[in-house]
């Protein structure tokens, strides 16, 4: 998928400084911390730079009547998706909502009040019932662990699912995606 290169390079100076620290430091702790920070910043920048194109892709499916669960990690990505997909009444199930708000989001999606559910890659454990109302998921951002994506997929691809499940990974040739 395309990325907005301006968004990807928005904080280039900080990334360059972190990369220099990784390459030049002889201290294991300093090198490790700089590498971790570099990874976090690049993954966030990649998600933000992809988000408008993820929304565009999702819109094509939503306009055909496909209901979607979209998995992402960064708040800024969800903000873009919420704005770009607002006509489909998106709801969120992330780490920021209370248990009551999460339950309301799930109910709105299951009932058809919302056509798109935005979920955190790591907050879907234990969620059931999506298999009765959705058969398509989009992975907008990548996690380092395959098991996380497998857990996400099994929210929709599980007993009770009547249709083949489509799991879409929207991957870019830029940013952190090629490495992840």
pLDDT digits (tens, 9 = 90+) for 108-118: 999 999 999 99
Low-confidence stretches of the chain (pLDDT < 50) are none
Residue 18: what pLDDT? Answer: 53
Residue 175: what pLDDT? Answer: 83
CB 151 within 8 A of CB 126: no
Residue 12: what pLDDT? Answer: 60
CA distance 75 to 125: 19
Residue 85: what pLDDT? Answer: 98
CA distance 171 to 74: 16
Q: Which of 7, 57, 6, 8 is nearest to 177 (CA)?
A: 8
Residue 83: what pLDDT? Answer: 97
CA distance 165 to 65: 15
Residue 28: what pLDDT? Answer: 72
Residue 44: what pLDDT? Answer: 87
| Global pTM value | 0.88
């Amino acid at each position: 998928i395309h990325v907005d290169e301006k968004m990807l390079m928005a904080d280039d100076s900080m990334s360059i400084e972190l990369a220099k620290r990784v390459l030049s430091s002889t201290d294991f702790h300093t090198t490790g911390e700089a590498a971790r920070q570099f990874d976090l910043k690049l993954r966030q920048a990649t998600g933000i730079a992809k988000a408008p194109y993820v929304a565009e892709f999702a819109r094509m499916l939503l306009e055909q009547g496909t209901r979607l669960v979209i998995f992402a990690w960064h708040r800024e990505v969800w903000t873009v998706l919420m704005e770009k997909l607002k006509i489909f009444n998106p709801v969120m199930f992330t780490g920021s909502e209370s248990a009551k708000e999460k339950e309301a989001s799930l109910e709105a999606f299951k009932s058809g009040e919302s056509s798109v559910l935005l979920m955190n890659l790591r907050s879907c454990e234990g969620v059931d019932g999506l298999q009765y109302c959705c058969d398509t998921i989009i992975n907008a951002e990548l996690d380092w662990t395959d098991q996380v994506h497998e857990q996400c997929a099994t929210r929709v691809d599980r007993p009770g699912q009547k249709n083949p499940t489509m799991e879409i990974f929207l991957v870019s040739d830029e940013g952190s995606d090629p490495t992840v």
